[in-house]
Structure 1
Amino acid sequence: MNRWGSDAGASRRRPQPDLDHVMSHIAVIGAGITGVTTAYALARRGHRVTVIERHRYAAMETSFANGGQLSASNAEVWNSRATVFKGLRWMFTRSAPLLLNPRPSWHKYSWIGEFLRQIPNYRRNTVDTVRLAIAAREHLFSIAQREGIAFDHEQRGILHFHATRREFDAATKVNALLREGGLERRPVTPDEIRAIEPALQGQFYGGFYTESDSTGDIHKFTRGLAQACERLGVELRYDTTVESVSQTADERIAIATRCDALADTSMFDRLVVCAGVGSRALAAQLGERVNVYPVKGYSITVHLDDAQSRAAAPWVSLLDDKAKIVTSRLGAERFRIAGTAELNGENRDIRCDRVEPLVRWVREHFPAVSTERVVPWAGLRPMLPGMMPKVGRGRRRHVFYNTGHGHLGWTLSAATAQAVADLVSADLSSCSPRTTAATVSG
């Protein structure tokens, strides 16, 4: 047995394809973390898979430079009255964690209306998300071990800290839900905070520490897994834009694409939509409403170019509850800080007034870390109003979705990929002359 809890020799044996599935061709649209994990789970079950991605490489949008946390401890959904009241207070403060562009937009305001109607489901959705995050963790660890993917993984836990008793008391209520979902997360005193992460500067009332959470570079992981998919026979069509999706009379999927100046239409037996914020438009072409909204988040990567900065930067992952900022140490020479939520449509502009609070936060809590070389980034989180991903069958036969993971795509994708791959396999088996199928767990 190895540290991942599995037999390394057994885990490296490749699955044998089910002969009934050899002629079935499955398309996955999107090569972010959800698309690539889905393609991998399908390939491990012996299916023929093609991934269609508009960028030149995998993981070039939301999966490029997120906060890095694999965080069951951050599984609380946002549909609560407390979050709404905070959002109203922050609306007109440009540096606030949440910013809403008030410009009229039917999609934006209808999405907000649906978000508010999900408040009664806050408790259930939070508990369900925790359980999914815990399951995903084991799948992701086993994948990384099996395929030998190095992604700056740090298993040092995640420390949430709170400046006031009011913040701590609110977090205590959330902690009860997290524990109901099966997460071990313990309260810590200011002295314990300093012992867990000595580099952190500031005055704190208390916090919570989740030892089982971890961090890693989502971009490195996704690129490594894309290479593993290719070894399993997955076709990855990069630089390819999907122009239209439709279903034929015999229920096959027709996908019209363009690569450079070359237009093409390919036929598939099944489709899994993993297109992030593009999922809504694709679903609409198939007569379905998947109300994903792009919620922009920012990150900065601080390059630790000198010995003093490397020594002064934290190794334990952090979450500042008041500022809504998360951090991850990505190897010896990079420090990732991420946060903010911006409702401003499909706007990918990197705004200085949104980046500056992240830099200021570093200077406040880690004054010895040089911020001379900081790389900013912005990405669009694909969020559904209930903060739960859409995973499963669509209304059209043979069409499936694995999208809308919001701020937890990195945390949840390894589990949702397994779920949708199981459904696709069952769909193929039900249409096969034989009723049994060999399935290899991811």
Structure 2
Amino acid sequence: MPSIAIIGGGITGVTTAYALTRRGFSVTLFERHRYPAMETSFANGGQLSASNAETWTHPSTLWKGLKWMFRPDAPLLVNPRPSWHKLSWFAEFAASIPRYRQNTVATARLAIAAREHLFGWAEAEGIDFDVKKAGILHIYRHRDGFEHAARVSELLAEGGLPRRAVTPEEMKAIEPTLAGSYYGGFYTESDATGDIHRYTNGLAQAAEKRGAKMVCGVEVTKVQSDGEKARVWIAGEDGPRTFDGIVVCAGVVSRDVAAQLGDRVNIYPVKGYSITVNLLDEASQQAAPTVSLLDDETKLVTSRLGDGRFRVAGTAEFNGVNRDIRADRIAPLVRWVNQCFPGVSTRQVVPWAGLRPMMPDMMPRVGPGRRANVFYNTGHGHLGWTLSAATAEAVAETVQQWGEARQPRLHGGLVLPASAR
């Protein structure tokens, strides 16, 4: 089988490596950190949330961005400083608004398809990642948010995902530790949570056992393809490493890598924040929720990781390639925990920030590039883990079809090259 280089060792790169090795490909994955899953796949919200498939390309998103632009603690924060990349991205975002409905339905279908692969792989490889299949509860304090969610539920149902409206009393029964006053909620029993970092590393080890090479701690300085061979230059090495094909799974760097390969992949880095609350005492463990939550008003999600950790994540910051962890962006997450779960001690909180690779239409770029041996699996935005297993299978299937088409075939006792078939 052909040799394949994968650029990027986050959840999409590792799932792609695993899906390709299962098909017999010779896979080499390049990751600049010493270990896989050290950037956006390190400490995200932990949700496997088909119920969060609604794309952001809704007119209200633009209004909220303008309204919140000068609020440092806003759920959606846009740095007003212009750049061509940012302006082009938002122009394409606005142009995608008419496809809001179809893209939301398509994302829900993709998320449902991903579950089977993700859980199946974990079971087959014995990966322990603090999975909790207790569903996800969306919470709403006001009627307008609840009614918008009801309309979204219709789109999710069209995509094959059932979720049900619940009263405040039912919300309390689903998650008794939740404090506050609410108009209502929506509960998706089929959703789940887990630790993306543990999952990605477990799957990377499984891919290695199947023959994949994980080349970590190296800087890819250049990539090139002529359609027949792909070349990857590594810092400190004299010449390029050569492969039959290449798959780009490089997160927010994918845009630059794609440009070297002759493609335009207009990914923008959208920063998200998280806190991991260490539940150091029994009282905090009892007061922390076990069911995952999504608060649409504050754009925060939660996951319970084992007995001793409670993660809260969310917000969106359009500020370029900036990985700074800002105190004024972390503070609202801590306040939210104190308000919604007052029995949880926030004495020990670990903050984190990561850059989500987002396409303007909120749909991942999955499939072939301009050159025959170039492929992409990137741009998943805030649903990277939720969609990763399905897109990995899709791109692996595409690579397999390409690999089979390029193999010589016997014809009358002669081996014919692809150009002669």
The bucket for the TM-score relative to the shorter chain is over 0.9
Q: Secondary structure at the match of 2:15?
A: helix
Aligned to 1:155: 133
Q: Secondary structure at the match of 1:199?
A: coil
Aligned to 2:151: 173
Q: CA separation in 2, counterparts of 1:350 and 1:404?
A: 22
Q: Secondary structure at the match of 1:222?
A: helix
Q: Secondary structure at the match of 1:220?
A: helix
Aligned to 1:188: 166
Structure 1: stretches of 5+ with no match in the other structure: 1-20, 436-442
Q: How does 1:73-92 map to 2 (within 5 A)?
A: 73-92=51-70
1:321 to 293, 296, 301: 296
Aligned to 2:197: 219
Q: How far is the alpha carbon of 1:353 from its aligned partner? A: 0.1
Q: How far is the alpha carbon of 1:264 from its aligned partner? A: 4.1
User: Could you report, residue by residue, the CA deviation over 1:2-50 in whole angstroms, capped at 9, with x for unpaired residues?
Assistant: xxxxxxxxxxxxxxxxxxx1xx210011010000000000000011000
Q: CA separation in 2, counterparts of 1:154 and 1:382?
A: 26
Aligned sequence identity (%): 64
Partner letter of residue 191 of structure 1? E
Q: Secondary structure at the match of 2:28?
A: strand
Provide TM-score, normalisation by structure 2.
Answer: 0.96
Q: How far is the alpha carbon of 1:263 from its aligned partner? A: 4.5
1:292 to 267, 272, 284: 267
Cα distance change of structure 1 residues 155 and 434 upon mapping to structure 2, 3 Å threshold:
farther
Q: State whether residues 225 and 374 of structure 2, in contact with CA within 8 Å, keep that contact through their aligned partners in structure 1.
A: no
Q: How far is the alpha carbon of 1:282 from its aligned partner? A: 0.5
1:305 to 280, 283, 286: 280
Partner letter of residue 204 of structure 1? Y
Q: How far is the alpha carbon of 1:203 from its aligned partner? A: 0.3
Q: How far is the alpha carbon of 1:240 from its aligned partner? A: 1.0
Aligned to 1:350: 325
Q: How far is the alpha carbon of 1:107 from its aligned partner? A: 0.4
Q: How far is the alpha carbon of 1:296 from its aligned partner? A: 0.3
Provide TM-score, normalisation by structure 1.
Answer: 0.92
Aligned to 1:407: 382
Q: CA separation in 2, counterparts of 1:425 and 1:168?
A: 44
Q: Secondary structure at the match of 1:299?
A: strand
2:23 to 13, 26, 45: 45
Q: How far is the alpha carbon of 1:254 from its aligned partner? A: 1.0
Partner letter of residue 91 of structure 1? M
1:252 to 218, 229, 235: 229
User: Could you report, residue by residue, the CA deviation over 1:150-176 in whole angstroms, capped at 9, with x for unpaired residues?
Assistant: 000000000001001111111111111
Moved >6 Å (runs of 4+): none
Answering whether residue 8 of structure 2 is matched by residue 33 of structure 1, we say no
2:337 to 356, 362, 371: 362
Aligned to 1:131: 109
Q: CA separation in 2, counterparts of 1:169 and 1:253?
A: 51
Aligned to 2:370: 395
Q: How far is the alpha carbon of 1:433 from its aligned partner? A: 2.3
Q: CA separation in 2, counterparts of 1:173 and 1:184?
A: 13
User: Could you report, residue by residue, the CA deviation over 1:244-270 in whole angstroms, capped at 9, with x for unpaired residues?
Assistant: 11124x720111112xx4444100001
User: Could you report, residue by residue, the CA deviation over 1:351-388 in whole angstroms, capped at 9, with x for unpaired residues?
Assistant: 00000000000000001100010000000000000000
2:88 to 85, 92, 110: 110
Matched pairs, number: 410
Partner letter of residue 237 of structure 1? V
Q: Secondary structure at the match of 1:108?
A: helix
User: Could you report, residue by residue, the CA deviation over 1:295-319 in whole angstroms, capped at 9, with x for unpaired residues?
Assistant: 0000000000001000000000000
Aligned to 2:413: none
1:433 to 399, 408, 416: 408
Q: How far is the alpha carbon of 1:85 from its aligned partner? A: 1.5
Q: How far is the alpha carbon of 1:434 from its aligned partner? A: 4.1
Partner letter of residue 321 of structure 2? E
Partner letter of residue 127 of structure 1? V
Q: How far is the alpha carbon of 1:101 from its aligned partner? A: 0.6
Q: Secondary structure at the match of 2:138?
A: strand
Aligned to 1:331: 306
Q: How far is the alpha carbon of 1:109 from its aligned partner? A: 1.2
Structure 2: stretches of 5+ with no match in the other structure: 411-421
Q: CA separation in 2, counterparts of 1:398 and 1:316?
A: 44
Q: CA separation in 2, counterparts of 1:407 and 1:64?
A: 13
Q: How far is the alpha carbon of 1:200 from its aligned partner? A: 0.4
Q: How far is the alpha carbon of 1:321 from its aligned partner? A: 1.0
Q: CA separation in 2, counterparts of 1:266 and 1:165?
A: 58
Q: How far is the alpha carbon of 1:402 from its aligned partner? A: 0.1
Q: Secondary structure at the match of 1:428?
A: helix
Aligned to 1:206: 184
Partner letter of residue 59 of structure 1? A
Q: CA separation in 1, counterparts of 2:375 and 2:253?
A: 15
Partner letter of residue 355 of structure 2? L
